[in-house]
Amino acid sequence: MPPFDVGNGPGAVSKETILTAVSLASVGPFGDASVLEVAQRIRRRETTALEVTEQSLEAVNEYGTELNCFITVDPEGARRAARDADRELALGHDLGPLHGIPVGVKDLMATSGLRTTMGSRHFAHHVPDADADAVMLLRRSGAVILGKTHTHEFAFGPTGDRAFTGPALNPLDTSRVTGGSSSGSAAAVAAGLVPIALGSDAAGSVRIPGALCGVVGLRPTAGLVSVEGVFPLSHSLDVVSPLARAVSDTAVAWWALSTKSTQEGIRRPIWSPSLLPEPGRAAQLRISEVKCDLTERVASSTQVEALQFAIETLTDSGASMSETCIPEVDECAQPHQNILFAEAYAIHETRVKSAPELFDPEILNQLSVASEVRGWEYVQAQQTRARLRRQALERLSVVDVLILPTVPIEAPLIGQRTLADKAGWTTVREALKSFTVPWSLLDLPAISVPVLVHGAKMPGSVQLVGKPGEEQKLLDTAAALEKAVTRLNATSSPYVQRTL
Amino acid sequence: MPPFDVGNGPGAVSKETILTAVSLASVGPFGDASVLEVAQRIRRRETTALEVTEQSLEAVNEYGTELNCFITVDPEGARRAARDADRELALGHDLGPLHGIPVGVKDLMATSGLRTTMGSRHFAHHVPDADADAVMLLRRSGAVILGKTHTHEFAFGPTGDRAFTGPALNPLDTSRVTGGSSSGSAAAVAAGLVPIALGSDAAGSVRIPGALCGVVGLRPTAGLVSVEGVFPLSHSLDVVSPLARAVSDTAVAWWALSTKSTQEGIRRPIWSPSLLPEPGRAAQLRISEVKCDLTERVASSTQVEALQFAIETLTDSGASMSETCIPEVDECAQPHQNILFAEAYAIHETRVKSAPELFDPEILNQLSVASEVRGWEYVQAQQTRARLRRQALERLSVVDVLILPTVPIEAPLIGQRTLADKAGWTTVREALKSFTVPWSLLDLPAISVPVLVHGAKMPGSVQLVGKPGEEQKLLDTAAALEKAVTRLNATSSPYVQRTL
As separate numbers, helices (DSSP H) first and strands (DSSP E) second, chain A gives: 16, 15
Q: b/e string for A421-435 if b means 16 or more Cβ within 10 A? A: eeeebeebbebbbbb
Residue A249 pLDDT > 50: yes
**Are the beta carbons of A496 and A19 closer than 8 angstroms?**
no
Which has more pLDDT, A498 or A219?
A219
What burial class does residue A12 get, using C-beta atoms within 10 Å of its C-beta: 0-12 exposed, 13-18 middle, 19+ buried? middle
A374 CB neighbours in chain B (<8 A) are 342, 345, 371-375
Q: Does the bond joining A182 to the residue before it have cis omega, within 30 degrees of 0?
A: no
Tell me which of A181, A185, A258, A288 is the catalytic residue. A181
**Are the beta carbons of B303 and B405 closer than 8 angstroms?**
yes
Provide the pLDDT confidence category of residue A27 given band limits of 50, 70 and 90: confident
Residue type (1 letter), A312: E
Mutate to test the interface with B, among A156, A367, A368, A379 (most CBs of B within 10 A): A379
φ and ψ of A116, to 5 deg: -135, 105
Calculate mean pLDDT across residues B241-255.
96
Structure confidence at residue A304 (pLDDT): 96
Mutual angle of helices A35-43 and A247-257, in 10-degree steps: 80
Name which of B235, B341, B383 is nearest A375 (Cβ-Cβ): B341
Residues contacting residue B474 through CB under 8 Å, at least 6 positions apart: B218, B401, B445, B446, B447, B464, B465, B466
Cα A20 from Cα B392, distance rounded (Å): 64
Provide the pLDDT confidence category of residue B492 given band limits of 50, 70 and 90: very low
Calculate mean pLDDT across residues B414-436.
96
Q: How far does CA A77 lie from the centroid of its chain?
A: 25
Residue B23 pLDDT > 90: no
Cα A219 from Cα A367, distance rounded (Å): 25
Which has more pLDDT, B27 or A145?
A145
Q: Is residue A181 annotated as a catalytic residue, yes or no?
A: yes
| CA quadruple A107, A111, A115, A116: dihedral sign | positive
Residue A3 pLDDT > 80: no
Residue A499 pLDDT > 50: no
| % of chain B residues with pLDDT over 70 | 93
Residue A192 pLDDT > 90: yes
Residue A166 pLDDT > 80: yes
Q: Taking the CB of residue B327, how many other CB atoms lie within 10 A of it?
A: 14
Residue A103 pLDDT > 60: yes
Residue A494 pLDDT > 60: no
B342 CB neighbours in chain A (<8 A) are 374-376, 378-379
Q: Is A123 on the interface with B (CB under 8 A)?
A: no
A338 CB neighbours in chain B (<8 A) are 375
Residue A438 pLDDT > 90: yes
Q: How many residues does chain B have?
A: 500
**Are the beta carbons of B230 and B238 closer than 8 angstroms?**
yes
**Are the beta carbons of B411 and B171 closer than 8 angstroms?**
no
Cα A3 from Cα A13, distance rounded (Å): 14
Q: Which residues numbered 210-249 in A keep a CB inside 8 Å of some CB on B?
A: 235
Q: Do the chains contact at B346 and A370, CB–CB below 8 Å? A: no
Closest CA to B144 of B184, B186, B87: B87
A232 CB neighbours in chain B (<8 A) are none
Give residue-wise pLDDT tens across range A253-305: 999 998 777 777 777 788 999 999 999 999 999 999 999 999 999 999 999 99
Q: What is the ipTM score, two decimals?
A: 0.89
- The secondary structure element, H or E, covering residue A231 is none
Find the angle CA(A383)-CA(A387)-CA(A392) to the nearest 5 degrees.
145
Cα B341 from Cα B353, distance rounded (Å): 17
Structure confidence at residue B488 (pLDDT): 65
Give residue-wise pLDDT tens across range B181-200: 999 999 999 999 999 999 99
**Are the beta carbons of A399 and A287 closer than 8 angstroms?**
yes
Calculate mean pLDDT across residues A469-480.
97
Average pLDDT, chain B: 91
Provide the pLDDT confidence category of residue A315 given band limits of 50, 70 and 90: very high
Contacts across the A-B interface (CB distance below 8 Å): 69
Q: Taking the CB of residue B491, how many other CB atoms lie within 10 A of it?
A: 7
A383 CB neighbours in chain B (<8 A) are 346
Q: Is B371 on the interface with A (CB under 8 A)?
A: yes
Q: Do the chains contact at B378 and A380, CB–CB below 8 Å? A: no
DSSP labels, A303-370: HHHHHHHHHHHHHHTT-EEEEEE-GGGGG-HHHHHHHHHHHHHHHHHHHHHH-GGGS-HHHHHHHHHH
Report strand pairing: B216-219 vs B144-149. unpaired
Cα B24 from Cα A482, distance rounded (Å): 82
φ and ψ of A241, to 5 deg: -145, 130
Calculate mean pLDDT across residues B294-317.
95
Structure confidence at residue B490 (pLDDT): 52
Closest CA to A61 of A196, A209, A191: A191
Query: What radius of gyration, in Å, describes the C-alpha atoms of chain A?
Result: 21
φ and ψ of A494, to 5 deg: -75, -10
Structure confidence at residue A489 (pLDDT): 61
Closest CA to B302 of B491, B480, B451: B451
DSSP A182: S
Cα A418 from Cα A421, distance rounded (Å): 10
**Are the beta carbons of A135 and A153 closer than 8 angstroms?**
no
Q: Does the bond joining A181 to the residue before it have cis omega, within 30 degrees of 0?
A: yes
Which has more pLDDT, A337 or A260?
A337
Residue B3 pLDDT > 70: no
Give residue-wise pLDDT tens across range B54-103: 999 999 999 999 999 999 999 999 999 999 999 999 999 999 999 999 99
| % of chain A residues with pLDDT over 70 | 93
Calculate mean pLDDT across residues B370-384.
98
Structure confidence at residue A500 (pLDDT): 32
Which has more pLDDT, B491 or A180?
A180
Q: Taking the CB of residue B51, how many other CB atoms lie within 10 A of it?
A: 16
Structure confidence at residue B75 (pLDDT): 98
Q: Is B383 on the interface with A (CB under 8 A)?
A: yes
- The secondary structure element, H or E, covering residue A185 is helix A183-190
Give residue-wise pLDDT tens across range A113-139: 999 999 999 999 999 999 999 999 999
Query: What radius of gyration, in Å, describes the C-alpha atoms of chain B?
Result: 21
CA atoms within 13 A on the CB side of B215: 43
Residue B5 pLDDT > 50: no
Structure confidence at residue A311 (pLDDT): 96
Structure confidence at residue A240 (pLDDT): 98
| Structural domain spans, chain B | 4-498
Cα A457 from Cα A191, distance rounded (Å): 16
Residue B16 pLDDT > 70: no
Structure confidence at residue B491 (pLDDT): 47
Q: Taking the CB of residue B495, how many other CB atoms lie within 10 A of it?
A: 23
Find the angle CA(B464)-CA(B467)-CA(B471) to the nearest 5 degrees.
65
Average pLDDT, chain A: 92
E strand residue ranges, B153-256: 196-201, 216-219, 239-244
SS3 at position A202? coil
Which residue is closest to B339 within chain A, CA to CA? A375
B229: left (phi over 0), alpha (psi -120 to 50) or beta: left
**Are the beta carbons of A214 and A25 closer than 8 angstroms?**
yes
E strand residue ranges, B369-435: 401-405
Report strand pairing: A461-466 vs B4-5. unpaired
What burial class does residue B357 get, using C-beta atoms within 10 Å of its C-beta: 0-12 exposed, 13-18 middle, 19+ buried? exposed
What burial class does residue B84 get, using C-beta atoms within 10 Å of its C-beta: 0-12 exposed, 13-18 middle, 19+ buried? middle
Residue type (1 letter), B58: E
Structure confidence at residue A263 (pLDDT): 77
Q: Out of 3.20.20.330, 3.40.50.10860, 3.90.1300.10, 3.90.1150.10, select the CATH number for domain A4-498.
A: 3.90.1300.10
Which residue is closest to A380 within chain B, CA to CA? B346
Q: Do the chains contact at A342 and B378, CB–CB below 8 Å? A: yes
Residue B270 pLDDT > 90: no
Q: b/e string for B98-132 if b means 16 or more Cβ within 10 A? A: bbbbbbbbbbbbbbbebbbbbbbbbbeeeebeebb
CA distances from B415 to A421, B161, B179 (A): 61, 7, 11
- Gap from B119 CA to chain A (nearest CA, Å): 22
What burial class does residue B355 get, using C-beta atoms within 10 Å of its C-beta: 0-12 exposed, 13-18 middle, 19+ buried? exposed
Residue A372 pLDDT > 90: yes
Cα A467 from Cα A469, distance rounded (Å): 6
Cα A485 from Cα A15, distance rounded (Å): 18
Residues contacting residue B20 through CB under 8 Å, at least 6 positions apart: none
Structure confidence at residue B489 (pLDDT): 61
Name which of A235, A370, A375 is nearest B378 (Cβ-Cβ): A375
